Structure 1
Amino acid sequence: MGKETIFITGTAGFIGFHLARLLLAEGFRVHGYDGMSDYYDVRLKQRRHAMLRQNEAFTTTEALLEDREALARAMDAAKPDVIVHLAGQAGVRYSLENPRAYIETNITGTFNVMELARDHKVRHLLMASTSSVYGANEAMPFRETDKADTPLTIYAATKKANEAMGHSWAHIYGLPVTMFRFFTVYGPWGRPDMALFKFTKGILEGTPIDIYNHGDMWRDFTYVEDLVRGIRLLIDTPPAVPDGPVAEGDSLSPAAPYRVVNIGNSDKVRLMDFIDAIEQETGRKAIRNYMPMQAGDVPATWADAGLLKSLTGYAPQTPFREGVKRFVEWYRDYYAV
C-alpha cells in the first residue's frame, strides 16, 4: 500500500507551502488547492507553487473555495484520505476594511470543504483556526479549554464559527475533526503583511516601521517549520468520541470526535526584543514610528501548548532569534538585497 493522499487547501500560502513540502519529503501524495487571491503579491504565491511542482507527487488546482463545483472536481480527482484546510482570508487588520471577504471565504468556503470531506469519508479533517479566537481573554497562557466568546474582529469571529461548524459536522457525521489555533507564525517564505516581513523590509530600505501600542506588545512567535511539524503529527492523531470522562486539560468533545489544539511556542516575546533581533541580523537600526493600539488588536498572546505535547510528544522550540536569522537570510536571498 502506498502513502496516503493529503488534500491541502492554501498550498500557495505561507503555511500550506511549508506543510506540503514536509509531506512530499515524507513520500505522501499532495493535492494543493489555492485561489491565488491578490491579498498580497501573487508572484510570491506562484513561486511557492512552482517549487512544489518540482515534485511529481504534487498536483494542484487553482480555484476559489467558494467555487463548490471546482472544489468538488478537484476532490473527486484527488480521492483524498485526509484534508488539511488552511486556505482562508487571513489578516486581522484587513478584516476591518473588507469584512465581506471573510464571510465568503472563511464561512462559505469552509462549509464547502466540510461537505466534501463528508462525501469523501476522509479519515481526518484538520482545519486552521487562530489564537485570535481568544479575543479579550486575559488569563494566560491561553488554554484550549478556556472560553473563547469575545472575538475582537470579524476574522476571529469567522474562525470561531468554523470551530463550531466543525463540531456539528463531527457530531452528526462521525467525521474526526481537529481544529488548530495558530500563534503568530513567522519564517522564510512568510507573508508580506506580517510584522516580521514589514519590519525587515523597512529596516533594510531605511523607511520607518510602525510599532503599535508604543511597543508594549507581546507575541507567542511560532516558527513555521515547528508549526507544520505539529500539524504533521496531528494528522496521525484523529480524535475519537470518548468512552469515559475526558482527561483534564484535553479539549476533546464529550459528544463528537472533535478536538481543538493550540500550536505555539509556549513563550511570549516582547515585540521590542523581536525588533532588536531583526536589527542585529540586518546590521541596521530601525526608524521607529510609535503608534497607538489598533482596533481589533490584542496586547499579548501566549499559548499553553501542553495538549499538543501530550498528544504527539512534540513541542515547538525554535528560539525566536534563530527563526529571525533564518527569515532575514531568506529575505536577502529572495529579494537579492
Structure 2
Amino acid sequence: MRRVFITGTAGFIGFHLAELLLQEGWEVAGFDAMTDYYEVALKRRRHEILAQHGRFTATEARLEDMEALTRAVETARPDVIVHLAGQAGVRYSLENPRAYIDSNITGTFNVMECARAAGVEHLLMASTSSVYGANTEMPYAETQKADHPLTIYAATKKANEAMGHSWAHIHGIPITAFRFFTVYGPWGRPDMAPSRFACGIVEGRPIDIYNNGEMWRDFTYVGDLVRGIRGLIDAVPGGAETRVANDSLSPVAPFRIVNIGNSDKVRLLDFIEAIEDALGRKAIRNYMPMQTGDVPATWADASLLQNLTGYRPQTPFREGVERFVRWYCDYYDVPL
C-alpha cells in the first residue's frame, strides 16, 4: 500500500485529492491548520468525510510548527508528499501580506526539509498561474519567464518554485511544482468567485464584477485538477531520460514545473451567466474597475501535462458550474 502525506487536506483541493487517492487504496496522512481565513465548519466537514475512510489520519497544526510537522511526517512514513497548504487568495494578500510570508515561505521550507529527512520518492508542491503576472503572451507555457509577479501571493509562490529547484539540485529530491489556473467546483471556498457570485444571486445582493466584466479565465474543474495531480505523482522528474516534448525539466536538477489548466479561456460574464442559469435566477451586477494585482486574462498551455500523464482537463465549464451549483444548494440548503 502506497502512503502519501498531503498538507491542506481540509482545504478545497487537498480534500478532493485525498478523496481520490483514498478511493484508489492509498494510505493518506493529512495535515491542516484549520485556520479561520474562511469558515472552519466547512473545513471540518471535509475532514469528517475523509475520516470515513479507515486509511485517513489527520494532524491539526500550522506549517510553521516544525516540531509538529516533523512528528507528523515521521509517523506517516510517506512515499510521496503533496504540499497544498498555504495562505491562498490574491485579494487577501493586499490586506495581510505577512500571512503569506509566514505560511507560504517558512511553511514551504519546513515541508521541503521534512521531505529531505524522510527521503520521499517525489515531492509535489502547489504553485499558481498568478506567477505569470504581467506576461501577456498566451497561452501561458511553463518555459516562459515569470519574473514580474503582481501580488505578494504570486511572489511567494514564485519563491517556492525557486526554493524547490535549489532543494532538488542540492539534495537530489525529485520535485514537481504545478501551477493551478482558476479552480472551481463542489466544496469550493466561500471567498472564491463562484461561491461569492452564487451567494449574492441567492440573497439578491449585487455581485462585484471587476474590469467591467472584460475578464477571461482558464476555469479548471476541481475533479480535473486532482486527476492531473494524480498523474504527476507518477511522472517523477529525473535525468534526461525523463524528458518529454515541451518539457520544463531543469538541466541541473530533478525538478519541473507543470501547468494544470483547461487550455481554454472563458469570458467571466459567460461564467456568471452559467451560474444564473443553474440557479434559475438573475444577478444584480455591480461593474467595477480592475482591482490592484489582478490581470485581465489567464490561459494555460497544458500540453506538458498531457505529454507527461496522457491526461488533459476537459470538463466544459457549464457542466462544471451545474455540479458546483447542485453542491452549493445542497450544502447551504438553498431550494432550486
Same fold (TM over 0.5): yes
Quote the offset at 1:248 in angstroms. 4.9
SS at structure 2 position matched to 1:128: strand
Contact kept? 1:133, 1:156, Cα under 8 Å: yes
What does residue 289 of structure 1 align with?
A: 286
Q: Distance in 2 between matches of 1:243 and 1:329?
A: 45
User: Structure 1 residues 315, 218: CA separation in 2 closer, same or farther (over 3 Å shift)?
Assistant: same
Residue 249 of structure 1: CA displacement? 1.7
* Distance in 2 between residues matched to 1:194 and 1:331, nearest whole Å: 13
Deviation track 1:191-232 (CA, whole Å, cap 9, x = no partner) reads 111100000111111111000000000000000000000000
1:253 to 220, 243, 250: 250
Paired residues for 1:212-291 under 5 Å: 212-242=210-240, 248-291=245-288
**Whole-angstrom CA distance in 2 between matches of 1:240 and 1:219:** 32
- The counterpart of 2:12, out of the listed 3, 11, 14, is 14
Q: Are residues 1:304 and 2:311 paired?
A: no
Contact 1:65/1:105 (<8 A) preserved: yes
Q: 2:65 aligns with which of 54, 58, 67?
A: 67
Contact 1:11 1:33 in 2 (8 A): yes
Q: How does 1:1-40 map to 2 (within 5 A)?
A: 3-40=1-38
| Unaligned ranges ≥5, structure 2 | none
Aligned to 2:310: 313
> How big is each residue's C-alpha offset from its partner over 1:68-90, in whole Å with a ceiling of 9 and x where there is no partner?
00000101111111000000000
Alignment partner, residue 112 of structure 1: 110
Show the 5 A alignment for 1:20-169.
20-169=18-167
Q: Which amino acid aligns with 2:150?
A: L
TM-score by length of 2: 0.98
- Structure 1 unmatched ranges of 5 or more: none
Specify the SS of the correspondent of 2:179: strand
SS where residue 117 of structure 1 aligns? helix
Tell me how far apart the structure 1 counterparts of residues 194 and 325 of structure 2 sit (CA, whole Å): 9
Q: Is the 8 A contact 1:130 1:182 kept in 2?
A: yes
Q: CA deviation at 1:241?
A: 2.3
Q: 1:8-47 deviations in whole A, cap 9, x for unaligned?
A: 0000000000000000000000000000011101100000
Q: Distance in 2 between matches of 1:291 and 1:82?
A: 44
Cα separation, 1, equivalents of 2:107 and 2:247: 28
Percent identity (aligned): 75
Distance of 1:269 and 1:161 partners within structure 2: 29
In 1, distance between residues paired with 2:239 and 2:40?
41
The runs of 4+ residues in structure 1 deviating greater than 6 Å are: none
Distance between the aligned counterparts of 2:247 and 2:167, measured in 1? 20
- What is the total number of aligned residue pairs between the two structures? 334
Q: Deviations over 1:141-172 (max 9, x none)?
A: 00000000000000000000000000001001
Match of 1:325 among 309, 314, 322: 322
Partners of 1:269 and 1:247 in 2: how far apart? Answer: 29
State the TM-score, normalized to the length of structure 1.
0.98
Distance 1:243 1:52, change over 3 A: closer
For 1:163 and 1:285, the matched residues in 2 are separated by: 41
1:241·1:258 contact (CA, 8 Å) conserved in 2? Answer: no
Q: Secondary structure at the match of 1:126?
A: strand
**Does the CA contact (< 8 Å) of 1:220 and 1:267 recur in 2?**
yes
3-state SS in 2 of match to 1:288: strand
Q: Give the Cα separation in 1 of the matches to 2:241 and 2:81.
A: 26
Say if 2:244 and 2:308, in contact at 8 Å, map to a contact too. Answer: no
SS of the aligned residue for 2:202 comes to helix
- State the AA in 2 paired with 1:108: T
Contact 1:110 1:162 survives alignment (8 Å):
yes
One-letter amino acid of the counterpart of residue 193, structure 2: A
Equivalent in the alignment of 2:331: 334
In 2, Cα distance between the equivalents of 1:77 and 1:240? 27
2 CA distance for matches of 1:215 and 1:29? 44
